[in-house]
Structure 1
Amino acid sequence: MKGLFCRAALSDAEPKFVIQETSLPEVLDSQQVRVQVKACGLSPLDLKLLADVGIQRDLIPVGREVAGVVLQVGDKVSFFQPEDEVVGILPLDSPCSGLCDVIDIDEHYLVQKPEKLSSVCVAGALRDGLCAYTALHTHARIAAGHTLLVMDGASSFGLMCIQLACYHGVKVLTTSHSPQQQTFLEQLRPSVAKVIPVYNDSSDLLSVVLEETGGLGVDIVIDSGVRLQEEESEENKLLPHKHDVISVLGVGGHWVTSHKDLQLDPPDCRLLHLKSASVTFLNHEVWTASSAQQGRYLHILRDLVEKMSAGVLSVINFNTA
């Protein structure tokens, strides 16, 4: 049985991906489930995160969001039986690649897959759905009547945030990074109240947000990264500046950031203090890196797949729309 693995570079060279022969033990651990993989999502590898949590291997498995059918269960497994359809995310320290035909995984990382939900769709959308759920519910604690600003709404993560927020009665503003994205996001109205173009020099994020919120600012901002300086590389020029994000926040607002190395200067902290606003860091990997809140994690996964099955969360993508 073959799987895809990444061989981390020892220097600044690019990591290499290799197909490696693997095998599973003959006897399952008592709480493990053997799953025949039907679909696997490919998400970027965070090699620095793996090093930070002490996971150091020559070969790192690729592909962690899986959907499949249970073949065999350990003697203490209570949630599943053979032939059950399941979906889940392999933990950071899993030795298995999700691209193998058959994998072993602890039952506490899996949930039942609704029958009418496609394995391909759920495997492809699970990571972004988990990120959106974590950002909006766990960090921002959204409620009906809130106003949300989603940066880069045409991204897969941004679209999941928009759909989940609209389901809960939240007013959604979002930004677009190109004329094509602007056209695509405009089609989501009335779910999206305002699409703000940020791809030209005349864009003024702050003035548009204040106009849409009656000068109050938004309750929640979710970004996909920010600029720490005015002068940034070409690939980061469309990201919002950190001061702009803080400026559009209302009193008591929440900023959920994906920026791993965020640095706030004293004036930024002073502005946050004046607004009694907060900043939280979005790291969805904490769910599988720690077992402290395993029950809540499984509740999130179940709720996600149920919303996908019910059509509340659709797997739409700007690149394929």
Structure 2
Amino acid sequence: MLAVCEVTMKALYCQQNSSGEEMTFIFQERENLPPTGDNDVKVQVRACALSWIDTKLLSEVKLEKELLPVGREISGVVLEVGRKVSFFQPDDEVAGILPLDSEESGLCEVVLVHEHYLVHKPEKVCWVEAAGTVRDGVRAYTALHYLSQVSPGKTVLVMDGASPFGTIAIQLAQHRGAKVISTAYSLEDKQYLERLRPAVEGMRQPLVTRVIDVSNGKIDVAESCLEETGGLGVDIVVDAGVKLYSAEDESTSKSQLLPHKHDIITLLGVGGNWITTERNLQLDPPDSHSLFLKGATVSFLNEEIWNLSNIEQGKYLCILEDIMEKLSSSVFRPQLDEPIPLYEAKVSMEIVQKNQARKRQVIQF
């Protein structure tokens, strides 16, 4: 096994061109890894999921560079551990997310990772599922446990529930006893959401109580949610983007399907939580007044917060462990594409970076 480390390896990197141009993805030859540090774990990568690279965030936190490593969600086998590592030993199966400032590309046969970014992978969870679920799991826990408190009896609206993140958020909310409503962007998405069932044998009721098909643009999301909740409104909303202005450019078909911010404020119940992925959200005084009258809150979903501050490292590791446990017990059944061989990684990453992949892309070694 260790022979892998002694040969030159290839790793995938993203090259940033001048502003406005598309990024290019290139394989770079890597020399031998540096010596394993005291707290480092050397991992032979078995699977690596592909996620959109947020170059704006990297620039804002001063982590921008000419060549960015690609692929952070990994699963694999421990080859070697540093002398101060206490959680792992060689031959352990692990999964985790490389930190935001990592110099390592997960799309490489062997990587070095600090032990505090990894957890044990249960034996019955396959490599592809472990790598393909870990990021969406962190997003779902951040939204539903730390930015809001999902609990039995609450109503949760998950926008674009057929997306990889939406699927995990729905499964987590329903597992915690919440009633789930979701929007679908196509007939195929609607049928997928209506087929979702709990992992418990014998339970035939769907995970999603009501699927709102917004693909034809004729259904009012706010009206449907108020109808479903008897006029009380939704307790927790997890959006997938919103329209900020009525007359904003709707050049893409997806932007036409997004709800307006006023719709979300309208469908929120008293004391409700709106979890938004819209980093440039602007609320006018009437919007703020409506939220004030309802005692509602707006929170911003940025799952990288766990990486940007180490103060909650224990909670972060608990999240990762719980994701693996829920994969093992089939509570989480991710929305994954077929495993992709390493030689197709560049093409797959280009599709992911253009936000054109509807299922999570995972490279299998």
Relative to the length of structure 1, the TM-score reads: 0.97
The answer to whether the aligner puts 1:123 opposite 2:131 as a matched pair is: yes
- For 1:234, the aligned partner's letter is S
What corresponds to 2:251 in structure 1?
234
Cα deviation, 1:263-292, whole Å, max 9, x if unaligned, reads 111111111011000000000011122211
Cα deviation, 1:87-140, whole Å, max 9, x if unaligned, reads 000001111100110000100000000011001111011111111111101111
- Of 275, 279, 286, the match for 1:267: 286
Relative to the length of structure 2, the TM-score reads: 0.85
What corresponds to 2:362 in structure 1?
none
What corresponds to 2:218 in structure 1?
202
Cα deviation, 1:168-205, whole Å, max 9, x if unaligned, reads 11000111111222222222353211111112232011
- Of 309, 312, 315, the match for 2:331: 312
Indicate if the aligned counterparts of 2:55 and 2:64 stay in contact, CA closer than 8 A.
no
Cα deviation, 1:224-283, whole Å, max 9, x if unaligned, reads 111101233232110111110111000000000011111111111111011000000000
What corresponds to 1:222 in structure 2?
238
Indicate if the aligned counterparts of 1:228 and 1:242 stay in contact, CA closer than 8 A.
yes
- For 1:197, the aligned partner's letter is D
SS class of match (2:209): strand
SS class of match (1:287): helix
Larger deviation, residues 233-242 vs 303-312? 233-242
What corresponds to 1:276 in structure 2?
295
- Of 263, 285, 299, the match for 2:304: 285
SS class of match (1:299): helix
Indicate if the aligned counterparts of 1:155 and 1:317 stay in contact, CA closer than 8 A.
no
Shift of 1:24: 4.1
Cα deviation, 1:28-56, whole Å, max 9, x if unaligned, reads 11100100000000001000110111112
Shift of 1:16: 1.2
Structure 2 unpaired stretches of 5+: 1-8, 197-204, 338-357, 360-365
Indicate if the aligned counterparts of 2:43 and 2:112 stay in contact, CA closer than 8 A.
yes
User: Taking every aligned residue pair, what percent have the same amino acid on both sides?
Assistant: 52
Indicate if the aligned counterparts of 2:40 and 2:112 stay in contact, CA closer than 8 A.
yes
What corresponds to 1:296 in structure 2?
315
Q: Runs ≥4 in structure 1, deviation > 6 angstroms?
A: none
SS class of match (1:280): strand
RCO higher in structure (CA 8 A, sep ≥6): 2
SS class of match (1:175): strand
Shift of 1:26: 4.5
CA–CA distance in structure 2, aligned partners of residues 136 and 234 of structure 1: 32
Count of residue pairs brought into register by the alignment:
320
The answer to whether the aligner puts 1:32 opposite 2:40 as a matched pair is: yes
CA–CA distance in structure 2, aligned partners of residues 303 and 25 of structure 1: 31
- The 5 Å alignment of 1:154-165 reads 154-165=162-173
The answer to whether the aligner puts 1:172 opposite 2:180 as a matched pair is: yes
Residue 62 to residue 244, structure 1, CA distance change in 2 (3 Å): same
